[in-house]
Amino acid sequence: MQNPWLALEAGADPGERAGAVRRAHEEFVTGGGIGAPVRHVVAESWRRCAGASLAPEGVARVDLTDDALEDHRLAHPLAGVMPLFRELLGTVADDGAHLLSVFDGSGRMLWAEGHAQVMRRAERMNFVPGSRWAEDRVGTNGPGTALAVDHAVQIFASEHYSRHIQSWTCAAAPVHDPRTHRIIGAVDITGGNHLASPQSLALVQATARAAEAALADRAPRASGRPVLSVLGRDEALLATGDGGRLRLGRRHSELLLLLAAHPDGLTGERLAVELYGDRDVNPVTLRAELSRLRSLLGPLVASRPYRLTQRLATDHDAVSEALAAGDLSGALAAYEGPPLPSSEAPGVLRLRRLLEDRLRRRLLARRDPAQLESWVRAPWGEDDLEAWEALHAALTGGPGGPLLVGGPGTRAAVGAVRFPRRGLDPLETTAAVRVRELRDAYGLDG
């Protein structure tokens, strides 16, 4: 059975296949359907590109350069495994026909290395560090599609959606955080049609797996300290420090998070307020919940005041500590959603609001397009008008602050967002439309 992630089956003629796919591409972008010999993974990608209103003449946009790019690279976890990438793929990159490139999880190129002549050719299509190669930005391409489908893939010649890059072939594989299993980037080799072979795909897959193993080796070893995970989950997960994992019920999740947030302890009265608010709840109810929690966790929970006998690490604290260290990229990578999102306990609501406010303030102040895009694409940021406005401003070079304000200039500004100019970056169009939708929904355009 043919591997669907490989561009060519054994015995296929690359020149004939490139011509046939090019004709299919032209038919599709001029309003036709998609037929043979276009692979399913490519056909689905082309449909996503059309759905995102991408132009087949699109080019990648460079949105990070100089010191900002260097800072972003240094803060990215893949910086630590670049020597491994060079060791495994360096000979391929130095042979005069290929490039080694590494991307972050948003499709932004972090590093590109190879023969100077090949690098110069690649520069003509903006295949340079700081450029964005996400599939929804420039269409079907190796790293962008690998990130979109979370699988290693080859993209061959005219399978690329943009005509500007149809003279290239690439093989790319996503790289995951070994702890959270989230995509943090991709590794890619790019060259001519000879790359459409099983060997190139196997090579990038093996390199990505080696990088994940190296990242796991670099991660701090368990020290016996319990770790509580509450971000993006209604039921907390407690790693007990001895290799055990315990899923807690919702009330016990709230109790443990609140006790972890108050290492000096809480009186029964104060804990009841943090948990129940103004509701009239019999103190016996709280004592019963704590008794059941102690039966699960043993001596970890003490009383008078209620407290934890051992400091508990939490993923909530990991985000806070990254923000305190000025590492916004690390904070965003660690933020898997609001803590205990369905909880209505006042103490949990306050922790949730404070963490989100700190994260958003840094995000809006930094105005990095990739970071803003990752926020508004997440469920917790999709209705964040201020973040969408900041993204639109960052993409258009507009001023800081909300894009649209009341006063004499409001109608003109609203018009600018309602009618994006032709030739716009697809993300800029998306941001403009979303700003308009949210302002209408919030009644701010009246």
Residues in contact with 33: Cβ distance below 8 Å, sequence separation at least 6, in sequence order: 27
- The whole-model pTM stands at 0.69
Please check whether residue 340 is in contact with residue 348, taking contact to mean a CB–CB distance below 8 angstroms: yes
**Which range, 70-74, 143-147, 282-286, is most confident?**
143-147
Q: How confident is the model at residue 18 (pLDDT cuts 50, 70, 90)?
A: very high
Could you read off the pLDDT of 350-386 as tens digits, one per residue? 999 999 999 999 999 998 888 898 899 888 999 999 9
Burial pattern 17-33, b for ≥16 Cβ within 10 A else e, equals: bbebbeebbeebbeeee
Averaged pLDDT, 257-267? 93
Whole-number pLDDT of residue 216: 84
The overall average pLDDT reported for the chain is 87
The residue ranking higher by pLDDT, 397 or 252, is 252
Averaged pLDDT, 230-241? 89
Q: At residue 415, does pLDDT exceed 70?
A: no
Averaged pLDDT, 385-392? 94
Residue recorded with tokens 């994992």: 245
Whole-number pLDDT of residue 224: 61
Q: How confident is the model at residue 418 (pLDDT cuts 50, 70, 90)?
A: very low
Averaged pLDDT, 110-115? 94
Whole-number pLDDT of residue 10: 83
Whole-number pLDDT of residue 422: 42
Structure tokens at 363: 């995000």
346-349 long-range contacts (CB < 8 A, ≥24 apart) are: 346/273, 346/274, 346/275, 346/276, 346/277, 347/254, 347/258, 347/261, 347/273, 347/274, 347/275, 348/254, 348/257, 348/258, 348/274
Residues in contact with 81: Cβ distance below 8 Å, sequence separation at least 6, in sequence order: 211, 214, 215
Q: How far apart are CA 259 and CA 340, in angstroms?
A: 14
